[in-house]
Amino acid sequence: QVRLVESGGGSVQAGGSLTLSCAASGNLRDVRSMGWYRQVPGTQREMVATITTGGSTNTAEFAKGRFTISRDNAKTTIFLQMNDLKPEDTAVYYCNAYVTVMHDDHNWWGQGTQVTVSA
């Protein structure tokens, strides 16, 4: 019931910048937060940054000072501005929407977008 579509991934040289976008559609009334996660093959998916409906943000330590999460005025699109990219940032980046309905919860995920940073 929630569709998330990422865009903006690609290849960039170390030190460069990319901005990822995630457009959410469907039943969004119970979305509590959205965020960006990333996953390197063979490793666990990790949180990059999240933003709640109230606008509070959390950013992973590795991303602080380099990555910024934001959203549009309609709260249907989130962005991840990534600066000073490093080769270790290479991963598939996934958009997430966290939904709660009474005592139930669910995570919705986008298809992912590849970010590749070359040395």
Q: Tens digit of pLDDT for each residue in 57-87?
A: 999 999 999 999 999 989 899 999 999 999 9
What was the pLDDT predicted at 8?
Answer: 98
What was the pLDDT predicted at 51?
Answer: 98
Given its phi and psi angles, is residue 66 left (phi above 0), alpha (psi -120 to 50 degrees) or beta? alpha
CB-based burial label for 65 (10 Å; 0-12, 13-18, 19+) = exposed
What was the pLDDT predicted at 69?
Answer: 98
Parallel/antiparallel/unpaired status of strands 10-13 and 113-118: parallel
Q: Give phi and psi for 47, each to the nearest 5.
A: -75, 140
What was the pLDDT predicted at 38?
Answer: 98
pLDDT-derived band at 31 (thresholds 50, 70, 90) equals very high
What was the pLDDT predicted at 78?
Answer: 98
Cβ pair 95, 38 in contact under 8 A: no
What was the pLDDT predicted at 119?
Answer: 94
The two tokens of residue 26 are: 């469907």
What was the pLDDT predicted at 2?
Answer: 97
What was the pLDDT predicted at 91?
Answer: 98
What was the pLDDT predicted at 95?
Answer: 98
